[in-house]
């Protein structure tokens, strides 16, 4: 078993419960890790034998592009999409962070982390 991580995927998106958040948008950071059997890839040196991190990043961007009220919902969609589209992934952990959230205080970010096994 091995782990592939994508760290600090920067995305501008329009999530949130406030109407203004859907109109103005905000900066987000997504951190993702997937676990899979990478033994074969370590021996063959072939992309077809591993989890393509370009595909992982594409899935994150697609799911982040669809507006949601809650970060929990976006994180779950990312997990579901990865498990549906990439069969060799056994486990997914994703953190979605909203930078400078509009919560009436000096807070750098709020984040939600979800994890799911196949």
Alpha-carbon distance of 7 to 19, in angstroms, equals: 29
Which is catalytic among the residues 35, 76, 93, 98? 98
Residue 112, CB half-sphere, CA atoms under 13 Å: how many? 16
The CA–CA distances, whole Å, from 90 to 22, 41, 69, 83, 84 equal 34, 16, 28, 8, 11
98 is catalytic: yes
Residue 19's CB is within 10 A of a number of other CB atoms, namely 8
Is 71 within 8 Å of 112 (Cβ atoms)? yes
Mind telling me the catalytic residues? 98
């Amino acid at each position: 078993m091995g782990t592939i991580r994508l760290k600090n995927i920067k995305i501008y998106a329009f999530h949130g419960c406030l109407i203004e958040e859907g109109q103005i948008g905000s900066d987000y950071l997504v951190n993702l890790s997937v676990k899979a059997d990478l033994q074969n890839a370590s021996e063959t040196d072939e992309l077809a034998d591993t989890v393509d991190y370009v595909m992982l990043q594409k899935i994150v961007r697609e799911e982040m592009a669809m507006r949601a009220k809650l970060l929990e919902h976006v994180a779950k969609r990312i997990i579901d999409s990865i498990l549906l589209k990439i069969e060799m992934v056994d486990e997914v952990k994703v953190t979605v962070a909203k930078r400078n959230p509009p919560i009436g205080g000096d807070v750098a970010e709020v984040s939600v982390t979800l994890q799911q096994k196949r």
